[in-house]
Structure 1
Amino acid sequence: MTGMPAPTAPPMPPSSPGPVSARARAGWRDPFRWILENPGTVDLVSFGGATLTMLVLGLGTGNLGWWVVFSVPMVLAGAVCRIRPLLGVLVIGSLALLHVLVGMPVVLGDAMTFYALFCAVAYGTSTVHVVGVVAGMLGVLVQSTAWAVLALLDQYGGIAQAATTFVVLVVVGTITIVAIWALANLQRARVRQLALTRERAEQAVREREQRTALAVADERARIAREMHDVVAHSLSVIIAQADGGRFVAAQKPERAVEVLATIGETGRSALADMRSLLGVLRQEDETSFGPQPGPAQLSDLMERVRGAGLEVDLEIHGSLEDLPHAVGVSVFRLVQESLTNVLKHAGPGATAAVRLERTAEHLTLEVLDDGRGTDPDSDGLGHGLTGMRERMAALGGTLQAGPLPSRGFRVQASVPLADPAGPARPRSTAA
């Protein structure tokens, strides 16, 4: 019994082209954009082809003469009129004047004088603009004079005919110059508008990149503050417990179990906070590995600090249950960082007191200790106080921190509350 033939895999589609080929295909689909961005190449091909066509037709008809000597370079000079308008005006104007002086009033290349004037006004500077208009009017006068002289020398002409010819050609030439000047000014305004639009687009891109960079910097600063608060506090507690654990293990071995339990609990709490931060960085769907820090966790924080050997009192006046999330997190972090600094710098035997008071408009936080005030072993390069000031500045609050006159250190912060709460309900808890 023969088995069914295995289904053949469908043919794989050809690999998609890379970014470069995509841009190339976009360029072929938008030839007008390429024409606008490459004026020199376009003009060289156009006027070069016109010159070649003119030579081929002249050879085919046997009508090559002195006019070719002037017309060919005048047409070729049109290739530089848009990118070098002054050069184009000088070359074409000089050749137009020269062929009149040698007795050839009109050649085929004279049509390029109008194009040179247009480019001088539309793409040139103010000086080139003036030079182009002056050259155009000079050309009108030269041509009018040349034709007037021919009319005067003609056997059927005379002074009246010569004057009429001169006036008519001057009027027609002036009207032509004015019309070309007006069209060129419209093109000049359009070019300026396109340049302004492109500049604004580039400015918008730069501003968007700057805003993105500032947002990234703010996010990095926020994450750095959170990391500092989590790591500095947890490691300070663990180090204090480990230092005291050596003494406890030698004097009262049965108490060593409590010290190790405190170290383990602090480490697990720090690990949960680190996981939460890393989850935000990785944009995971589930980043909550525990309750977010806030006033509700202050009692747990006090227990951990007391377990590290620091006697601390907590007083709360007013309800903290309905605080905004950002304010609640900042309050917890400020208390955490302040107590961490007490553990690190206040010295042995120090005690601390935390006091929070909420009114209808403000929330005031104060952390006091009776330690040595300034740690002589500290290099002053920490970021704890800087991070606390940044938190308060982000909330529109203020922070004052410094040693007390006698001994000890005080941290005092005030945060404005946007939504005033009801009457404060005094509540005091003390250890």
Structure 2
Amino acid sequence: MTRAENAHKAPRTRIVDALIALVLWAASTLSLLVFADGGFSLRAIVIVGGLSALLTLPVAFRRSHTVASSALVAALFLVQAAIGFPLLPANVSLLIVVHALAYYAPRWASLGGLGLAYLGVVIAFFRYDSLLFVNEMNTLMRAMVWLLTAALISAAWLLGNVQRSRAALVRELTERARRLEYEQQQERALAAAEERARIAREMHDIVAHSLSVIVTQADGARYAAVNQPEIAPQTLGTIAATARESLQEMRRLLGVLRQDEVMAMGPAPDLATLDSLVAELAASGLSVSLAKGSTRSAPHRLPKGAELAVYRVVQEALTNVLKHAGPGVTVAVSLDWEPRGLLIAIIDDGRGAGADPTPEGGGHGIRGMQERVALYGGSVVAQPRLGGGFAVHAWVPFEER
């Protein structure tokens, strides 16, 4: 139960406890009307009402001041027994405080209160037996009455103890549910962050590659419009096709963010679409070749996600060639199927170390390649080549069949 629920429930429980104490006090005081022999006086009413009030008042505080109220009831009972004052209906408060000790008090107070209650039964047996029973009553019957009293005390304590255990179980389950809900929220937040990072990588690959191709084609079209007008329409067609394909990929990617709409989801790029990627870049004027090794000897396969990662690595590397390698560059892409995985190499003869500088630690594209491949247990190394050019090597392990 939460603190707010306890605060909301506290006024109601105090009212209930006060009503119980009031009813018990009234019953004890009015008992003079039934049990008083030869009438009753104002003095008797004051005495009985006062003692009943002292015995029942702690009941109103049995939840908030359990140990103190129970100790007060025990002390009053001892005083009552010591002076030989007759038992009253208010003495039923003993059962109520024993229950409260078992439910609300610490364990030492609960067990101690139970022991004191049993001791009170023994004291009452010797102190009130001759007052409560006529001499002709069977001794066994008397013993049964006091044993029944002890049984009522035991039942009150057991009921409180069971309620205590149940309340502890409810608190534990509530806390466990709260922790599980918090952990689920954390997992959802981590999943959302991972999805945003994945989408950011995808968007970077699509936008960077497409804009690089479009810029290269636009520069070529501007030159061709002056010197070779017949080439300009073909170049503009390549620009339109590249932009259209990129727009389609972006729509497919962003479709995962629209849960309330049904969108056409095209297949994700894989190794089979590398040919079209290379053809697209070759059409833009880049001298690029693709060599695929035979897959017959490969005993394993790549997951679909790993094939997409390989596609994006090649795409990012070729985009970097367009942006940084300089004019007249030649680039070779090769896929070699090794016994434990796929080795990808993208090697160009461009400016290499003299390429446009990137931020410290590498650009987002190289970091994105490394993150993608690392998800499947692979690695990426991108660095300038000795003697000129730049090389990107990636290795992706196979998935067991």
TM-score surpassing 0.5? yes
Counterpart residue type for residue 92 of structure 1: V
TM score, norm. by length of structure 2: 0.76
Q: Are positions 1:378 and 2:358 aligned together?
A: yes
Counterpart residue type for residue 49 of structure 1: L
Counterpart residue type for residue 218 of structure 1: E
Q: How high is the sequence identity, in percent, across the aligned residues?
A: 36
| Separation of aligned partners in 1, 2:107 and 2:195 | 50
Q: Are positions 1:49 and 2:28 aligned together?
A: no
1:314: Cα distance to partner? 1.0
| Separation of aligned partners in 2, 1:105 and 1:111 | 13
Counterpart residue type for residue 183 of structure 2: E
User: 1:39, 1:83 within 8 Å by CA — same for their partners in 2?
Assistant: no
Q: Of 291, 313, 320, which residue of structure 2 is paired with 1:341?
A: 320
For residues 120-269 of structure 1, the aligned pairs below 5 Å read: 120-129=101-110, 132-133=113-114, 135-136=116-117, 139=120, 143=124, 147=128, 180-269=156-245
| Separation of aligned partners in 2, 1:87 and 1:410 | 82
User: 2:347, 2:392 within 8 Å by CA — same for their partners in 1?
Assistant: yes
- Determine the structure 1 residue equivalent to 2:336: 357
1:301: Cα distance to partner? 1.1
Q: Secondary structure at the match of 2:352?
A: coil
1:276: Cα distance to partner? 1.3
| Separation of aligned partners in 1, 2:54 and 2:281 | 92
- Determine the structure 2 residue equivalent to 1:29: none
| Separation of aligned partners in 1, 2:391 and 2:268 | 26
| Separation of aligned partners in 1, 2:271 and 2:280 | 15
Q: Secondary structure at the match of 2:375?
A: helix
Counterpart residue type for residue 264 of structure 2: T
Q: Are positions 1:297 and 2:267 aligned together?
A: no
- Determine the structure 2 residue equivalent to 1:391: 372
Cα separation, partners in 2 of 1:368 and 1:142, compared to 1, 3 Å: farther
| Separation of aligned partners in 1, 2:276 and 2:289 | 13
| Separation of aligned partners in 2, 1:370 and 1:70 | 106
1:265: Cα distance to partner? 1.5
Counterpart residue type for residue 273 of structure 2: Q
1:336: Cα distance to partner? 0.6
Counterpart residue type for residue 397 of structure 2: P
1:169: Cα distance to partner? 11
Q: Are positions 1:328 and 2:307 aligned together?
A: yes
Counterpart residue type for residue 280 of structure 1: V
Cα separation, partners in 2 of 1:178 and 1:328, compared to 1, 3 Å: same
Task: Write out per-residue CA displacement over residues 91-125 of structure 1, whole angstroms, 9 at most, x where no aligned residue.
Answer: 43344345456653533332222322222233222
| Separation of aligned partners in 2, 1:134 and 1:61 | 31
User: 1:400, 1:411 within 8 Å by CA — same for their partners in 2?
Assistant: yes
Task: Write out per-residue CA displacement over residues 6-58 of structure 1, whole angstroms, 9 at most, x where no aligned residue.
Answer: xxxxxxxxxxxxxxxxxxxxxxxxxxxxx999764554343333344356554
1:319: Cα distance to partner? 4.0
User: 1:85, 1:128 within 8 Å by CA — same for their partners in 2?
Assistant: no
Q: Which 5+ residue runs of structure 2 have no aligned equivalent? A: 34-39
Number of residue-to-residue matches in the alignment? 372
Q: Secondary structure at the match of 1:223?
A: helix
Counterpart residue type for residue 294 of structure 2: G
| Separation of aligned partners in 2, 1:368 and 1:234 | 20
Q: Which 5+ residue runs of structure 1 have no aligned equivalent? A: 1-34, 162-166, 421-431
| Root-mean-square deviation over aligned CA pairs | 3.9
Q: Of 109, 113, 127, which residue of structure 1 is paired with 2:90?
A: 109
User: 1:294, 1:331 within 8 Å by CA — same for their partners in 2?
Assistant: yes
User: 2:302, 2:399 within 8 Å by CA — same for their partners in 1?
Assistant: no
User: 1:372, 1:408 within 8 Å by CA — same for their partners in 2?
Assistant: yes
Q: Of 258, 270, 286, which residue of structure 2 is paired with 1:310?
A: 286
